[in-house]
Structure formats: C-alpha cells, structure tokens
Amino acid sequence: MNIKKWFRSKKLWLRGGIIGVIICFVLFLFNLFIYFPIINSAYGSMIPSEALILPTITGHVFPVLSMFIVPYGWLCKFTEPTCAYWSAESAPGAIPWTMEGTPGYCIEQEMAPTPSCADLSDMIGFFGLILLLFIAYFVIGAIVGLIIQKRKAK
C-alpha cells in the first residue's frame, strides 16, 4: 500500500514516465517470452521481415540489431593488423601472410581492434541502446503525463 501512496503523491509527468518505463519492460517480456518464441516456432531460422514490424514500432528490435547499428569497434583503437585481401601468389607490395594455416601473401592489409575490445564495444552498444529505449519510453510517458496535468489544471 505504501508504493501506491508514494506513486499517487508524485506529479503526473513523473507518474507518466514511470508508467512508460513499466510499459517498456512489459513489452520486453512479451517479446522475449511470447512473441519471438511464437515467430521462431512458426518460421524457424528464416524469420520474415514482416514479423519484425511490431518490435520495430515499439523499438524493442533495436537492441537486438545493435550489432548492425553500432559501428564495429567504436570505442577501440584499431591496432591489430588483419588481411583484407589474401592470395597464394605474390604481388608487388604483398606481405608474407599465413591464413588458416596456409602460407601466402596479404595484398591488402587493414587495422582492426582487438577482439576483446570489439566485444566490449558491442556489449556497451547493446546495453546503451536498451538504456536509450527506457529513456525514450520515460520521456513519452512524461509528455503524456504533462499533457494530462495541464488539461486537469484548466
């Protein structure tokens, strides 16, 4: 009963923001435990793009797709040399390079972040998008609460 009393004592914009965060969390649970398992059982590994419309509208698909949204290694320095174009035959300016146990030559070399830094960067991007989603739902709920608060004041 104390939670209800505490909640009712807050301004409408704050209550709206809290309700928005709760709605976001409930939609997350719905997607995780009901919607995606049903879609997965109906379509298997080849999920049609139409099935992602609902989670896209609610914003809950963006953390899942964070690996495509957040740039690779966005918090890392690119210090690890990797071979972007490998050949078994030598070419002018090629660097001797062993790829998957096969000796050859790297014709085009690029720098990449360390795997641990890239993984950490992906994880921060994932949880950052989740945090942004909760903030967006809070702001939307607070705006709705503020509109209701202003209408009640008239």
pLDDT digits (tens, 9 = 90+) for 48-61: 889 889 999 999 98
Q: Would you state the pLDDT for residue 91? A: 87
Out of 13-27, 41-55, 64-78, 82-96, the most confident range is: 13-27
**Torsion, Cα of 141, 139, 58, 74 (10° steps):** -160
Residue 152 confidence class, pLDDT cut points 50, 70, 90: confident
Q: Are 77 and 113 in contact (CB under 8 A)?
A: yes
Mean pLDDT across the stretch 32-50?
Answer: 88
Distances (CA, A) of 129 to 24, 95, 108, 114: 13, 40, 34, 23
Q: Would you state the pLDDT for residue 154? A: 77
